[in-house]
Amino acid sequence: MEKAYHTQMEAARMGIVTPELEIVAKKENRTTAELLPLVASGKVVIPANPRHKGLSPSGVGSMLKTKINVNLGVSRDCKDYDVEMKKVLSAVEMGAEAIMDLSSHGNTQPFRRKLCSECPAMIGTVPVYDSVIHYQRDLATLTAQDFIDVVRLHAEDGVDFVTLHCGITRKTIEQIRNHKRKMNIVSRGGSLVFAWMSMTGNENPFYEYYDEILEICREHDVTISLGDACRPGCLADATDVCQIEELVRLGELTKRAWAKDVQVMVEGPGHVPLDQIAANMKVQQTICQGAPFYVLGPLVTDIAPGYDHITAAIGGAVAAASGAAFLCYVTPAEHLALPNVEDVKQGIIASRIAAHAADIAKGIPGARDWDDRMADARRALDWDAQWAEAIDPETAKAIRADRAPEDDHSDTCSMCGKFCAVRSMNKALAGEYIDIL
């Protein structure tokens, strides 16, 4: 039997509680009645392509638990799909709600299809990356229709969301040339679109044929993640004319998608000084009328290669506490190399900490309970209970085991030994003798 709706947004507007919305409501400890108007108005998206079998749907919206995305995929220099699949599985195990396959080498379709048939996390792609690979032709020889056909291909493969850099136009070319940004365009997809427009003299196909793209996304319920080609790539370019001008266009494109019941997220900066992040979130939410904001970092300083999972987590926590809904993880390999399995782990843990810190600040139901359980375990010096609550128990256990207390007072740790404040207070309040030497 044919479904009465095409997209989750259309269903919500018709008052239909889809199976996916029901699952999201359970995961978020909300009622379906609370979620329906949020999905109907576009403030929450549920990226769930019906062809993605085995998906465990998630909702993305500023009033829900902050979600995290993990970018993976092969490149010309690192092309082992088995290694990428290993990263996918460990990313899902570590709590990533979304995986973006950014593969840019070889035959990408089998891996994409495997993800869309086996992976329970939402799957996102950037079709413009795949266009050159798919056709095995130079960028300048591709036509607008070629790009659109790759969007359709990804939709038919079961992808839940696609990043499309629809917001830059021929006007942007002049702006980038005249404005003289320090880092120009650092978005990979944005730079490809810019390069194609520069070489062909044509308008951005994702902008010019946006209505055709909306038809594809409506038919397959693919959520559009409006890419920010002009996201700042350094602090000096943050919140500049190029970024804001593109954001205004993204606001218009959001409205056009909603008019066709197509779900939309809006991507954001980039590198942003800490004191500008909250204002950026406010401006985005106003211009894009509350569409979920998907931030890439933001990285709060440019000087920490090797530690950009930390610079991004600082910015991500502030961004999510100020209204961002979705954090794209950043690994220690950012700006340096394709991340390996350990980099992926470090990136995910850093993002999850940022997301959780924001959820506490936002008052997401149940978020603080986790911290309170850990505090109880710490007060009781109950190490097993602490491992159970730790975001990365493996690392926590290994550190304790490596520097274990020498003698029998093993309820404390080797930091303070018998000077352990927790132990002393527990004993003092229980009226017990406190031996220190």
Compare residues 337 and 416 and give the one whose CB is closer to ligand SF4: 416
Piece in contact with ligand SF4 (CB under 6 A), picked from 27-35, 77-85, 241-249, 419-427: 419-427
Compare residues 307 and 387 and give the one whose CB is closer to ligand SF4: 387
The answer to whether residue 390 forms part of the interface with ligand SF4 (CB under 6 A) is: no
For residue 351, what is the DSSP state? H
Compare residues 156 and 411 and give the one whose CB is closer to ligand SF4: 411
- 170, 183, 422, 426: which one binds ligand SF4 (CB under 6 A): 422
Tell me the C-alpha distance between 90 and 85, whole Å.
Answer: 9
Compare residues 90 and 412 and give the one whose CB is closer to ligand SF4: 412
The answer to whether residue 391 forms part of the interface with ligand SF4 (CB under 6 A) is: no
Compare residues 416 and 434 and give the one whose CB is closer to ligand SF4: 416
Kind and range of the H or E element at 374? helix 367-379
Please, which residues bridge with residue 45 across strands? 60
Tell me the C-alpha distance between 229 and 249, whole Å.
Answer: 12
Minimal distance in Å, beta carbon 390 to ligand SF4? Answer: 14
Mutual angle of helices 81-93 and 341-362, in 10-degree steps: 30
- Amino acid present at 104: S
Minimal distance in Å, beta carbon 368 to ligand SF4? Answer: 21
Compare residues 114 and 418 and give the one whose CB is closer to ligand SF4: 418
Minimal distance in Å, beta carbon 404 to ligand SF4? Answer: 12
Tell me the C-alpha distance between 221 and 112, whole Å.
Answer: 17
The answer to whether residue 426 forms part of the interface with ligand SF4 (CB under 6 A) is: no
- 173, 304, 391, 413: which one binds ligand SF4 (CB under 6 A): 413
Please, which residues bridge with residue 122 across strands? 98
Compare residues 195 and 416 and give the one whose CB is closer to ligand SF4: 416
Compare residues 368 and 418 and give the one whose CB is closer to ligand SF4: 418
Tell me if 227 sits within 8 A of 126, measured CB to CB: yes
Tell me the C-alpha distance between 279 and 272, whole Å.
Answer: 11
Which among 385, 348, 351 has a CA at the least distance from the CA of 370?
A: 385
- 184, 289, 412, 426: which one binds ligand SF4 (CB under 6 A): 412
Minimal distance in Å, beta carbon 293 to ligand SF4? Answer: 38
The answer to whether residue 184 forms part of the interface with ligand SF4 (CB under 6 A) is: no
What are the residue ranges of helices labelled H in 291-340? 308-321
The answer to whether residue 377 forms part of the interface with ligand SF4 (CB under 6 A) is: no
Minimal distance in Å, beta carbon 419 to ligand SF4? Answer: 7
The answer to whether residue 425 forms part of the interface with ligand SF4 (CB under 6 A) is: no
Secondary structure (H, E, C), 147-175: HHHHHHHHHHHCCCEEEECCCCCHHHHHH
- 4, 33, 421, 429: which one binds ligand SF4 (CB under 6 A): 421
The answer to whether residue 337 forms part of the interface with ligand SF4 (CB under 6 A) is: no
- 415, 430, 436, 437: which one binds ligand SF4 (CB under 6 A): 415
Measure Cα distances from 261 to 9, 61, 204, 367 in Å: 6, 17, 23, 32
Residues binding ligand SF4: number (CB under 6 A): 7
* Token pair for 165: 């850099």
Which among 164, 166, 168 has a CA at the least distance from the CA of 151?
A: 164
The answer to whether residue 429 forms part of the interface with ligand SF4 (CB under 6 A) is: no
- 416, 425, 428, 434: which one binds ligand SF4 (CB under 6 A): 416
Piece in contact with ligand SF4 (CB under 6 A), picked from 144-152, 173-181, 325-333, 412-420: 412-420
CB-count burial class (<10 Å; 0-12, 13-18, 19+) for 69: buried
Piece in contact with ligand SF4 (CB under 6 A), picked from 9-17, 180-188, 221-229, 414-422: 414-422
Tell me if 396 sits within 8 A of 386, measured CB to CB: yes
Tell me the C-alpha distance between 206 and 165, whole Å.
Answer: 7
Chain positions contacting ligand SF4, by CB under 6 A: 412-413, 415-416, 420-422
